[in-house]
Amino acid sequence: PRCFIVAIDGPAGAGKSTVSKLLARRLGFSLVDTGAIYRCVALMATDERIPYDDDARLGELLGRVHIHFQVVGEENRVFLGGKDVSGDIRSPEISMAASQVSGRPVVRAGLLQLQRRLALESSKGSILEGRDIGTVVFPDADAKFFLEANPEVRARRRFEELFQKGVESSLDDVLADQTKRDKDDSARAVAPLKAAEDAIRVDSSSLPLSEVVHSMEAEILRRM
């Protein structure tokens, strides 16, 4: 049997990570957090003081990106070159940097194969969460979802997530960052954030994420 691919796209804070993690666990699928991959590139660029628009140096850097994901307890940890960078990649600075490097076509093209390879490693199925999974990375995905929620709800979720991870921030700052990233992500020329035509749109503003997970799981099982 071939690997069943689930695409989950949507803006920051719509609940993608939470929902993806739960779905992966319930279905026994692997989980590819593609935002974390862009964040790793941003972290490397920042550490090496590479300007976020230096395509030549970013291109060279891409050849050195070695990422793997590992579920540890309740968490999906991210390893870059063997080092656990799960905390480092969530800082506000790296969030902004990720949004910038992800606008470079050289970066998007360079990460395409990596995302596909990580997903297809699973013999059963994979959940990919990101911005352009259903439109670019896996246009033939077996199930596509576009997760949305109103901006205030999303900012509050992100704020609480950061708080739980021990990252200090304020709700206002999170909302401001989010508004800027949403704008950049939707406005960029390459692979802008938008729902695939055949994606199922889910608005989680007034639904508990557990309910969202159940309806998504039912939809996936129907298609398996």
Q: Annotated binding site for ATP, which residues?
A: 10-18
Nearer to ligand C5P, 74 or 218 (CB): 74
Residue 9 and residue 146 in contact, taking contact as beta carbons nearer than 8 Å: yes
* Distance of closest approach, residue 186 Cβ to ligand C5P, in angstroms: 10
Structure token pair of residue 142 = 């077996």
Helix (H) or strand (E) holding 106: helix 105-120
Residues placed in the known binding site: 10-18
Residue 66 and residue 36 in contact, taking contact as beta carbons nearer than 8 Å: no
Measuring CA to CA, which residue among 36, 10, 14 is closest to residue 158?
14
Nearer to ligand C5P, 127 or 132 (CB): 132
By CB under 6 A, name the binding residues for ligand C5P: 12, 34-36, 38-39, 98-99, 102, 130-132, 181, 185
* Distance of closest approach, residue 1 Cβ to ligand C5P, in angstroms: 26
Torsion angle, alpha carbons of 213, 218, 146, 98, to 10:
50
* Distance of closest approach, residue 108 Cβ to ligand C5P, in angstroms: 7
Nearer to ligand C5P, 157 or 181 (CB): 181
Nearer to ligand C5P, 29 or 33 (CB): 33
CA–CA gap between residue 28 and residue 71 (Å, rounded): 12
Structure token pair of residue 32 = 């590819």
Residues in CB range of 133: below 8 A, 6 or more apart? 7, 8, 9, 34, 115, 141, 144
* Distance of closest approach, residue 21 Cβ to ligand C5P, in angstroms: 13
Which amino acid, one-letter code, is at 145? Answer: F
* Distance of closest approach, residue 130 Cβ to ligand C5P, in angstroms: 3
Nearer to ligand C5P, 7 or 220 (CB): 7
